């Protein structure tokens, strides 16, 4: 937990790797210091983690999870995931304590095969997920096996399809759930735990013990093939990856930036000012850039004081 400037009224819980699992304990300390409910912090933390690891399946495994808590009660979760095959990372800013469209931004390289059950377009699918769960673990297993049969190309009649819904026969080539799901003992247990949890809302579903990517993928598969309600495959990235945005202008390249030194930063601003005055560029663009530098310089001057 980070608490370097107590007067700012901000705490950062969690962190990278094993530090992610410290949020529940650190939430109790945050409640003492800032007066923000520890239960609310833990709920927001778990919802965000489930949103970007189970409800959103984009090929990136979370390895960084930080909860920013303010004395005003504002909570923001910042997470980062790594795709080992692509050797790329994504950053997720979770600003809403909900499953539907929880992100204020997702930064990364667009592309890949996406299962996005957090999307607004997946609202109907999430309702079907709840209907499926209410039918019990045994029925879910039968639906998975029937869906697996249809995927393998047979013409088995799904005689137990809910009459109010029409079966779907489309096969989107890039849908990540459109492949057989092995019904393992682990999956059976997770479904039985889910049945006992008996969620009444999508948030309760997201908070269910043991809910993981495989369970959500199974629910998405059944919702689409058996009940005809597909889950979105929209990529949530809104900001393309720009590696230079994370380069340290005044710092180290060893993952640990140098302590910030306003005087050095001011020298960098002066250098940029001289470059702008000499470069061949339109006067309107030059004036705009110089004004931005002046605003930056005023802020740095305040830090020097």
Average pLDDT across the chain, whole number: 84
pLDDT at position 197 over 90: yes
Q: How far is CA 116 from CA 53, 77, 158, 235, in A?
A: 10, 19, 26, 7
Q: In which residue are the tokens 């469209």 written? A: 101
Q: Which helix (H) or strand (E) holds 131?
A: helix 123-134
User: Domain spans of the chain?
Assistant: 6-118, 120-225, 249-298
The beta strand positions in 17-87, using DSSP E, are: 56-57, 61-70, 75-83
For 12, the 3-state DSSP assignment is strand
Residue 84 has pLDDT above 70, yes or no: yes
Q: What is the distance between the alpha carbons of residues 278 and 202, in angstroms, rounded to a whole number?
A: 58
Q: What is the pTM of this model?
A: 0.74
Tally helices (H) and strands (E) across the chain: 9, 8
Q: pLDDT tier at 119 (50, 70, 90 boundaries)?
A: very high
Residue (of 304, 220, 292, 226) closest to 262 by Cα position: 304
Q: What is the pLDDT of residues 47-59, one digit of tens each?
A: 999 999 999 999 9
pLDDT at 251 exceeding the cut of 60: no
Report the percentage of the chain scoring pLDDT > 70: 81
Q: What pLDDT, on a 0 to 100 scale, did the predictor assign at position 167?
A: 43
Average pLDDT on 13-34 reads: 93
Residue with the bigger pLDDT between 261 and 199: it is 199
pLDDT tops 80 at residue 139: yes
Question: Does residue 177 come out as left (phi exceeding 0), alpha (psi in the -120 to 50 range) or beta?
Answer: alpha
pLDDT value at residue 35: 92
177 vs 53, which has greater pLDDT? 53
- Indicate if the pLDDT at residue 164 is higher than 60: no
Q: Does the pLDDT of residue 63 top 50, yes or no?
A: yes
The answer to whether 67 and 45 are in contact (CB under 8 A) is: yes
């Amino acid at each position: 937990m980070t608490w370097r400037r107590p007067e700012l009224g901000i705490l950062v819980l969690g962190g990278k790797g094993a530090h992610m699992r410290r949020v529940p304990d650190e939430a109790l300390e945050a409640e003492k210091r800032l007066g923000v409910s520890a239960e609310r912090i833990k709920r927001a933390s778990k919802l965000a983690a489930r949103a970007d690891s189970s409800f959103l399946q984009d090929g990136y495994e979370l390895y960084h999870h930080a909860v920013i808590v303010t004395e005003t009660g504002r909570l923001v979760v910042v997470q980062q995931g790594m795709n080992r095959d692509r050797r790329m990372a994504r950053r997720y800013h979770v600003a809403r304590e909900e499953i539907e469209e929880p992100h204020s931004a997702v930064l990364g390289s667009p592309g890949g095969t996406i299962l996005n059950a957090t999307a607004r377009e997946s609202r109907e699918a999430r309702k079907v997920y709840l209907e499926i769960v209410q039918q019990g673990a045994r029925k879910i297993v039968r639906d998975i096996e029937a869906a697996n049969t249809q995927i393998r190309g047979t013409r088995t009649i799904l005689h137990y399809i809910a009459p109010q819904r029409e079966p779907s026969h489309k096969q989107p080539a890039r849908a990540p759930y459109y492949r057989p799901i092995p019904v393992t003992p682990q999956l059976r247990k997770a479904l039985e735990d889910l049945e006992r949890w008996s969620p009444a809302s999508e948030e309760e579903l997201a908070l269910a013990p043991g809910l993981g990517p495989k369970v959500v993928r199974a629910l998405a598969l059944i919702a689409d093939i058996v009940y005809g309600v597909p889950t979105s495959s929209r990529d949530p990235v809104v900001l393309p990856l720009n590696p230079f945005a994370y380069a340290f202008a005044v710092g180290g390249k060893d993952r640990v930036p140098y302590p910030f030194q306003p005087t050095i930063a001011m020298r960098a601003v002066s250098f940029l000012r001289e470059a702008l005055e000499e470069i061949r560029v339109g006067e309107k663009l030059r004036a705009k850039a110089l004004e931005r530098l002046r605003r930056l310089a005023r802020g740095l001057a305040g830090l020097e004081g």
